[in-house]
Amino acid sequence: MDNFFSLPFSAGTRKLSLQTLDNHSDFRKPQRGYMPVTVKESTFVNELLTLRVILEKEPEEKVYLKVTENALLVSCSVDTDESYLSRYAYFAIRNLISYRHEYDFEDYYWPGLFNAQTGRSRFLTIAKMRDKLICHLKIRYIGMFKPGQQFPLLSDADACPARVIHVPVEAVPKK
């Protein structure tokens, strides 16, 4: 993790805003003209999302994203290190953010659920739909909470009273 560039999330969320991305990079989307950017999500192994990125007619490169509790860690097969975000990485993340001006990386935050040797998770279903990966808990594990996730607050009206069993006094054994 030493050579990953760190982009902080908005406070209390796993959302990365376009403003935060632009504050950490000198690259920008061209104001005029068209720059084709193709981004395809290819794998999600050991908490690492791999994107395949093609800028204009350049060769394909890979961008690696790791979602932590407070920041998005970014690496790339070219140029990116802890102090510099490559243009492949910038445009890949910019493409994810798109027109919404922020992107929620919550779907890729699954700490501690991957086997270190195999890189796979027995708790998650990871399916590929077109160029996007869909990650969710397997049915039998629904109800697990991620670290940092709030438990739902229940009021007294939501709580179920315990079932009270009345035992006749004659049925209670005497000492």
Tell me the per-residue pLDDT of 25-45, one tens digit each, with 9 for 90 and over.
Answer: 988 887 776 788 899 988 999
Which pLDDT belongs to residue 169?
A: 62
DSSP bridge partners of 84: 81
Question: pLDDT tier at 53 (50, 70, 90 boundaries)?
Answer: very high
Structure tokens that stand for 63 in this block: 């961008």
CA 173 – CA 169 distance, rounded (Å): 9
Stated pTM of the model: 0.79
Across the chain, mean pLDDT equals 84
Give Cα separations from 55 to 18, 21, 29, 51, 61 (angstroms): 19, 18, 12, 13, 9
Question: Tokens 């909470």 map to which residue?
Answer: 145
Average pLDDT over residues 138-154: 71
Burial of 166 (0-12, 13-18, 19+ CB in 10 A): exposed
The bridge status of strand 15-17 relative to strand 37-45 is: unpaired
pLDDT tens string 79-105: 888 999 999 999 999 999 988 899 999
Contacts of 67 (CB under 8 A, 6+ apart): 14, 47, 49, 73, 105, 106, 108, 109
**pLDDT attached to residue 34:** 79
pLDDT of residue 24: 94
Share of the chain above pLDDT 70, in %: 81
- Residue 104, pLDDT score: 94
d(CA 100, CA 137): 26
Nearest to 105 by CA among 12, 1, 13, 3: 13
What's the CA dihedral at 49, 52, 55, 56 to 10 degrees? -150
